Structure 1
Amino acid sequence: MLSYLSPFSYHFYRKFGYEVVFEKRQYNISPDAFGSFKIPEKPVERGVWKEQKEAVKDIYDQKMKGAVGPVKRNDWIWENRIMNSDKKKLALYRDEKGIPKGYLLYEFSGENQGNFKINELHALTGRAEKALWEYIGAHAAGFDTFEYTTRSDQRLTHLFREADLNPKMVSSMMARIVDMESFLKQFPFRQTENQEFWLEVTDDTAEWNAGLFKLSMSDGNVQVSSAEQPEEKSRYLKASIHTWTQLFMQFKKATDLQFEGSLISSKETAQALQDSLPEGVPELHDYF
Structure 2
Amino acid sequence: MTVFKLSGDQLQEAMKLSEYAFQYQVPEDQIADRIETMKQHHQIYGINENDQLAAKLHLLPLSIYLGKNQLKMGGIAGVATYPEYRRKGFVKELLKEALFQIKDQGMSVSMLHPFSVPFYRKFGWELFSNRMKYILNKSDLIMKNHPSGTIKRLMKEDHSAVIESVYEQYAEQFNGMLVREKSWWQKSVYGGQFVAVYYDNHGNANGYFMYSVHNRKMNVTEFIALTSNARISLWNFICQHDSMVDQVELTVFEREPLHFMLKEPRIKAELTPYFMARIVDVDYFLAQYDFKWNHIEQGVVLHIEDDLLLDNQKSVQLHAGEILTARDTDAGIRLSINTLTAILFGYQRPNELVSAGLISGSEACIEQLEALIPNRPPFFSDFF
Question: Does TM-score exceed 0.5, indicating one fold?
Answer: yes
SS of residue paired to 2:318: strand
1:279 and 2:380 matched: no
Deviations 1:153-192 (A, max 9, x none): 2243332111101211111111111111221111111122
2:148 touches 2:229 (CA, 8 Å); kept in 1? no
Find out whether 1:226 has 2:325 as its counterpart.
yes
Q: Which residue number corresponds to residue 235 of structure 2?
A: 133
Identity of aligned residues (%): 25
Write the distance in 2 (CA, Å) between the matches of 1:283 and 1:210. 27
Q: 2:347 aligns with which of 235, 244, 251?
A: 251
Could you tell me which amino acid in structure 1 is paired with residue 315 of structure 2? Answer: L
Q: How does 1:38-187 map to 2 (within 5 A)?
A: 42-83=149-190, 85=191, 87-109=192-214, 113-187=215-289
Distance 1:229 1:153, change over 3 A: farther
**Secondary structure, in 3 states, of the residue corresponding to 1:281?**
coil
Q: Distance in 2 between matches of 1:34 and 1:183?
A: 44
Counterpart of 1:199 in structure 2 is 302
- Larger % of helix: which? 2
Q: How many residues align?
A: 276
Distance 1:90 1:228, change over 3 A: same
Residue 141 of structure 2 corresponds to which residue in structure 1?
34
**Cα separation, partners in 2 of 1:78 and 1:237, compared to 1, 3 Å:** same
Deviation at 1:69, TM superposition (A): 0.9
| Runs of 4 or more consecutive aligned structure 1 residues displaced over 6 Å after TM superposition | none
Alpha-carbon separation, structure 2, partners of 1:7 and 1:49: 29
> TM-score by structure 1 length?
0.90
Aligned 8 A contact 2:134 2:270 in 1: yes
Change (3 A) 1:225 1:39: closer
Would the aligned equivalents of 2:298 and 2:368 in 1 still touch at CA under 8 Å? no
Quote how far apart the aligned CAs of 1:39 are. 5.9
Cα gap change, 1:32 to 1:164, in 2 (>3 Å): same
Report the Cα distance in structure 1 between the residues aligned to 2:372 and 2:130, rounded to whole angstroms: 23
Cα shift at 1:282: 0.7
Letter in structure 1 aligned against 2:218: F
Aligned to 2:356: 260
Distance apart, 1:116 and its partner CA: 0.3
1:12 paired with 2:119, answer yes
1:153–1:5: structure 2 CA closer, same or farther, 3 Å change rule?
Answer: same
5+ long unaligned stretches in structure 2: 1-107
Measured in 1, the distance between the counterparts of 2:312 and 2:162 equals: 41
CA distance in 1: counterparts of 2:257 and 2:367, whole angstroms: 27
Counterpart-to-counterpart distance in 2, 1:242 and 1:79: 33
Q: For 1:158, what is the secondary structure of its paired residue?
A: helix
Distance 1:208 1:139 in 2: 55
Matched to 1:60, the amino acid is Y
Conservation of the 8 A alpha-carbon contact between 1:39 and 1:138: no
Question: 1:67 touches 1:283 (CA, 8 Å); kept in 2?
Answer: yes
Change (3 A) 1:272 1:225: closer
How far residue 208 of structure 1 moved from its aligned partner, in angstroms, is 1.2
Give the 3-state SS of the residue equivalent to 1:44 in structure 2.
Answer: strand
Deviations 1:178-228 (A, max 9, x none): 1112211111111224532110011111111112112222xxxx3223233
* Residues 110 and 280 in structure 2, CA contact (< 8 A), matched pair in contact too: yes
The letter of the residue matching 1:64 is A
The structure whose RCO (Cα within 8 Å, separation 6+) is larger is 1
Structure-2-length-normalised TM-score: 0.68
Partners of 1:256 and 1:278 lie apart in 2 by: 15
With over 3 angstroms needed to count, the CA separation of the structure-2 counterparts of 1:253 and 1:210, relative to structure 1, is: same
Alpha-carbon distance in 1 for matches of 2:238, 2:163: 18
Q: Matched residue of 2:169: which SS?
A: helix
